[in-house]
C-alpha cells in the first residue's frame, strides 16, 4: 500500500515539476536569454566527443538515413514480389513522413539532447552546484530546466527538417542508385503521394516529442542523487521514460490527426 | 608510439574500443567464468528492461499497424493487415525496440557502474591484485546484455503482435481470422531466426560499447555523466547501422 501511494506521490511531484518548468518559460526568456542561446548552440552541434562527429544534427540525420534506407530495401523487395516496385516512391512519401521520421527522430532526440541534459543536470546536482545556484538567488528551474525546454523545441525545428530530408534521400538513393529504378518513375510516384499537410502534421508530432522528452529528461537530471552511479541511473530511467512517453504521445496525436479519415486518397 | 595529437583522439578511442572488444571475445572461454556476476547482471538488465520494452512495443506496433491499415483499407485489402503487421514487427520493430530499451536502461547502468569504479580506482586495484577486470566484470556484462536482448525480443514481438491484433480488429474492424491467417504469408521461420540473431548482435554491441565507455572514463563524476550520455548516443547509432546491414543481408538470404 505504501509503495503504491509512494508511486503516485512521485508522479505528483513529477507533474508539479513539469508545471513549474512550463510556467517559468517566460522567466527564461526575460532573465536568461544568453543561457538560452548558448544552450541552442550546444544542443544543436554538441560538445566534446559529440561535437567531433557533428553533434545532434549529424546523429539524428544518420539514424533517419538508415531507417529511410530500410524503406528502400524492404519496400523494393516486397513490392517486386507483386510487380509494383514503381510504388517505392509512394512508400517513402507515406511511411517516412507519418511513421519513420517522427519515431526515429524522437529516439535520436532522447539519446542526444535528452540524455545530455540529464547527464549535465545530474552532474550539477551531485556536485551541489544547483544548491549553490539557489543560494545565489538564481531561479534554478527557469535557468536550468525551462531554458533547456525552450532550446530543445527551437533546435528540433531545423533538426527535424534534416531528419526528414535524409530519410527521403536515403530511400531515393537506395531505390535508384542501388536497385536501379529510374529516377523519373521514383520521383513521379513520390511527388504524387507526398502530401504537404502530412508534413506539417509530422512537424507537430516532432514538436510534441521534443517537449515531452525535454520535460522528462530535465526532471530526472534535476532530481538525480547518489553520486556518479546515481547520474547513470537517472539517465537510464530518463531514457526509458521519455522513449515510452514520447512514443505514446506520437501515437495519440497521430490517432487524433489521422484517425477520422486517414487523409490518404489513392485515386483523385 | 601512440599519437598524442588532439585531433586523433576519436581514432584512438575507436582503436581502444576494438582492442577491448577483442580482449573480451578472447576471454569468454577462459576459466574461471564469472557465473555469479553473469547471472546477477542478466537479472538486473531483464528487471529494468522488461516493462519499458513492453510499454514501448505497444505504441510503436499500433502506430505501424494503424498507418499500414489506412493504405490497405483504401485498396480494399484490409485482410492483409496481419501480413504487414507480422513482417514489420518481427523483422524490424522487435529487435529495435528491445535494444532501445536494453541500451537505454541496461547499458547506461553498466557504463555508470563501471565508470564509478574506474574513477574510484577500483579497477586499478583489481589489476594490482591480479584479477583481470575485463574477465571479471566486462565479459559477464556483455554476455548478459546479449542473452537478455535475444530473450526479450521474442516477448516484445509477441506483445507487439497481440497489440496490433487488438487494435486492428476492434478499432479498424479488420476480420480477425484474416489477420491471424495473413501473418505467415511473407514472414517465415527464417525471418524469426534472423530477428533473434539481430537482437543478439545489437545486445552484444550495446554491451561492448557501454563497458568500453565505462572503463575508459576520465575527469571525475562529470566525466561519468558524459560517458553515459555518449554510451546512449553511440549505442543507438551502432544499433541502426547494424540494423540496415543485417536487414539487407536478411532480405537477400530469405528471398
The cell 493487415 sits on which residue?
B81
CB < 8 Å from B in window 124-183 of A: 126-127
Q: What is the mean pLDDT of each run of 10 residues along chain B (255 residues)?
A: 74 91 94 93 92 93 92 87 92 90 90 91 95 94 95 94 94 91 90 93 94 90 86 91 90 81
A267 pLDDT band, cuts 50/70/90, is low
**CA distance linking residue A101 with residue A95, whole number of Å:** 8
pLDDT band at residue A262 under the 50/70/90 scheme? confident
Say what the ipTM of the complex is: 0.88
Residue B113 has its nearest CB partner, among A115, A119, A232, at: A232
pLDDT of amino acid A71: 87
| Residue-range domain boundaries for chain B | 42-254
Chain A, residues 179-218, CB within 8 A of chain B, namely none
Cβ separation of A59 and B237 shorter than 8 Å?
A: yes
Banded pLDDT at A167 (limits 50, 70, 90): very high
Which residue's C-alpha cell is 544542443?
A: A43
Residues of A with Cβ-Cβ distance to B10 under 8 angstroms: 49, 52-53
Instruction: Output the nine-digit C-alpha cell for A164.
Output: 526528414
Rounded to an integer, what is the distance from CA B147 to the centroid of its chain?
Answer: 10
Collect all residues with Cβ–Cβ distance below 8 Å to A173 and sequence separation of at least 6. Answer: A69, A72
Alpha helix ranges (H) inside B4-93: 9-27, 35-75, 81-88
Q: Are the C-beta atoms of B59 and A251 separated by less than 8 Å?
A: yes
Which of residues 206 through 245 in chain B touch A, CB cutoff 8 A? 220-222, 224-226, 228-230, 232-233, 236-237, 240-241, 243-244
pLDDT of A20-76, one tens digit each? Answer: 999 999 999 999 999 999 999 988 887 766 777 778 889 999 999 999 998 888 889
pLDDT at A227: 86
pLDDT value at position A45? 82
Q: How many CA atoms, within 13 angstroms, populate the side-chain half-sphere of residue A136?
A: 9
Interface contact A250-B232, CB threshold 8 A: no
**Per-chain mean pLDDT for chain A:** 90
Contact A250 B56 (CB under 8 A): no
Closest CA of chain A from B129, distance in Å:
24
CA distances from A104 to A189, B122, B230, B251 (A): 24, 38, 18, 21
Chain A residues near residue B75 by CB distance under 8 angstroms: 266
∠ CA B78-A78-A182 to the nearest 5 degrees? Answer: 120
Contact B225, A236 (CB under 8 A): no
Query: Is residue A199 over pLDDT 60?
Result: yes
What is the number of CB-based contacts under 8 A between chain A and chain B?
180
**Which member of A98, A233, A235 has the closest CB to residue B67?**
A98
Classified as helix, coil or strand, B194 is: helix
Whether A257 and chain B come into contact, CB under 8 Å, resolves to no
Please judge whether B113 and A123 are an interchain contact, meaning their C-beta atoms are less than 8 angstroms apart: no
> Three-class SS of residue A16?
helix
Is A239 at the interface with chain B, CB within 8 A?
Answer: yes
Q: What pLDDT does B77 receive?
A: 87
Is A99 in Cβ contact with B63 (below 8 Å)? Answer: yes
User: Please, which residues 142-181 of chain B have a Cβ atom closer than 8 Å to chain A?
Assistant: none
Nearest CA in chain A to B172: A259
- The residue assigned the cell 479519415 is A261
**What's the Cα-to-Cα distance from A63 to each of A251, B123, B154, B192, rounded to whole Å?**
20, 34, 24, 24
C-alpha span between B81 and B68 (Å, rounded): 7
Residue A230 region by backbone torsions, left for phi larger than 0, else alpha for psi between -120 and 50, else beta? alpha
Amino acid at each position: 500500500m505504501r509503495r503504491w501511494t509512494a508511486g503516485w506521490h512521485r508522479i505528483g511531484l513529477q507533474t508539479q515539476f513539469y508545471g513549474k518548468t512550463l510556467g517559468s518559460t517566460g522567466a527564461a526568456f526575460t532573465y536568461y536569454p544568453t543561457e538560452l542561446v548558448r544552450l541552442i548552440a550546444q544542443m544543436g552541434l554538441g560538445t566534446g566527443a559529440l561535437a567531433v562527429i557533428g553533434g545532434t544534427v549529424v546523429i539524428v540525420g544518420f539514424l533517419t538515413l538508415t531507417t529511410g534506407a530500410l524503406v528502400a530495401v524492404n519496400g523494393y523487395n516486397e513490392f517486386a514480389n507483386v510487380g509494383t516496385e514503381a510504388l517505392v516512391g509512394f512508400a517513402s512519401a507515406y511511411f517516412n513522413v507519418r511513421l519513420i521520421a517522427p519515431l526515429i527522430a524522437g529516439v535520436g532526440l532522447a539519446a542526444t539532447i535528452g540524455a545530455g541534459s540529464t547527464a549535465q543536470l545530474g552532474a550539477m546536482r551531485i556536485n551541489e552546484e544547483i544548491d549553490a545556484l539557489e543560494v545565489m538567488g538564481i531561479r534554478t528551474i527557469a535557468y536550468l530546466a525551462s531554458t533547456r525546454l525552450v532550446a530543445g523545441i527551437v533546435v528540433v525545428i531545423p533538426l527535424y527538417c534534416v531528419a526528414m530530408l535524409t530519410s527521403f534521400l536515403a530511400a531515393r538513393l537506395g531505390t535508384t542508385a542501388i536497385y536501379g529504378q529510374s529516377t523519373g518513375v521514383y520521383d513521379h510516384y513520390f511527388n504524387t503521394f507526398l502530401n504537404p499537410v502530412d508534413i506539417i502534421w509530422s512537424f507537430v508530432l516532432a514538436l510534441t516529442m521534443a517537449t515531452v522528452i525535454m520535460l522528462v529528461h530535465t526532471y530526472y537530471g534535476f532530481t538525480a542523487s547518489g553520486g556518479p552511479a546515481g547520474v547513470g541511473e537517472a539517465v537510464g530511467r530518463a531514457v526509458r521514460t521519455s522513449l515510452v512517453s514520447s512514443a505514446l504521445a506520437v501515437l495519440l496525436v497521430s490517432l487524433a490527426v489521422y484517425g477520422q479519415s486517414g487523409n490518404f486518397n489513392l485515386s483523385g | 608510439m601512440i599519437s598524442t595529437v588532439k585531433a586523433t583522439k576519436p581514432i584512438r578511442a575507436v582503436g581502444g574500443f576494438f582492442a577491448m572488444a577483442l580482449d573480451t571475445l578472447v576471454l569468454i572461454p577462459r576459466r574461471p567464468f564469472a557465473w555469479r556476476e553473469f547471472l546477477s547482471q542478466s537479472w538486473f538488465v531483464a528487471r529494468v528492461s522488461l516493462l519499458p520494452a513492453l510499454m514501448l512495443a505497444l505504441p510503436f506496433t499500433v502506430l505501424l499497424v494503424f498507418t499500414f491499415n489506412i493504405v490497405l483499407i483504401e485498396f480494399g485489402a484490409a485482410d492483409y493487415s496481419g501480413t504487414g503487421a507480422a513482417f514489420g514487427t518481427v523483422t524490424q520493430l522487435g529487435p529495435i525496440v528491445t535494444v532501445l530499451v536494453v541500451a537505454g536502461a541496461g547499458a547506461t547502468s553498466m557504463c555508470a557502474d563501471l565508470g564509478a569504479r574506474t574513477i574510484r580506482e577500483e579497477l586499478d586495484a583489481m589489476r594490482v591484485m591480479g584479477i583481470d577486470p575485463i574477465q571479471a566484470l566486462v565479459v559477464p556484462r556483455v554476455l548478459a546484455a546479449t542473452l537478455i536482448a535475444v530473450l526479450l525480443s521474442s516477448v516484445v514481438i509477441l506483445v507487439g503482435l497481440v497489440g496490433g491484433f487488438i487494435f486492428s480488429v476492434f478499432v479498424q474492424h479488420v476480420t480477425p481470422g484474416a489477420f491471424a491467417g495473413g501473418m505467415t504469408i511473407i514472414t517465415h521461420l527464417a525471418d524469426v531466426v534472423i530477428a533473434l540473431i539481430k537482437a543478439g548482435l545489437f545486445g552484444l554491441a550495446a554491451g561492448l560499447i557501454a563497458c568500453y565507455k565505462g572503463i575508459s572514463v576520465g575527469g571525475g563524476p562529470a566525466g561519468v555523466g558524459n560517458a553515459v550520455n555518449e554510451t546512449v548516443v553511440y549505442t543507438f547509432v551502432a544499433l541502426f547501422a547494424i540494423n540496415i546491414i543485417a536487414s539487407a543481408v536478411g532480405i537477400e538470404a530469405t528471398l
